[in-house]
Structure 1
Amino acid sequence: MTTITVRLNDEEQKYFNEYAKLHDLPLSTLLKKTLEEKMEDEMDLKRIKEYEADLKDGKSETYNHDEVMKMLDL
């Protein structure tokens, strides 16, 4: 396991510790979860932009509910 040191000023330490306590989490867990969520959000946004570019370029198609029902003979 690796240990990483994060330097916080007194105000940051107080703020982060209070937030961790509010969520009943150790500060290290809170920091890891927060970073993971940020990374996931950025990856999701990247994928959305790629999808929208594909739509614009005609590389992807969308179907409404009625079209899907008809395609499935339902």
Structure 2
Amino acid sequence: MSTISIRLNDKDDTLIRKYAQLHQMDLSSFIRQAVIEKIEDEYDLTLFNKVWEEERYQDRISHDDLKKALGL
């Protein structure tokens, strides 16, 4: 297991510690979770943008039209 050190001003340090405490998390777990979520969010957005660019000009049909086509 590795260790990462970050520098924070007093205001940010207090904010982060109080937030973790409010959610009953130890500081290390909170920071790890926040960083992983940030990476996942950015990855999801990148993937969405890629798919959007690939498919945005394709023909689409509404749910109602699909149901009609399927006889539902």
**In which range does the TM-score fall when normalised by the shorter chain?**
0.7 to 0.9
Shift of 1:56: 3.1
Indicate how the Cα distance of structure 1 residues 16 and 62 shifts in structure 2: closer, same or farther if over 3 A, else same.
same
The answer for unaligned runs of 5 or more in structure 1 is none
Counterparts of 1:23 and 1:72, CA distance in 2: 48
TM-score (normalizing by structure 2):
0.76
Matches within 5 A, 1:1-74: 1-56=1-56, 58=58, 64-65=62-63
The residue type equivalent to 2:35 in the other structure is: L
TM-score (normalizing by structure 1):
0.74
Counterparts of 1:29 and 1:2, CA distance in 2: 14
Q: Root-mean-square deviation (CA), in Å? A: 2.0
Shift of 1:41: 0.7
Q: How many residues align?
A: 72
Worse overlay, 36-45 or 62-71: 62-71
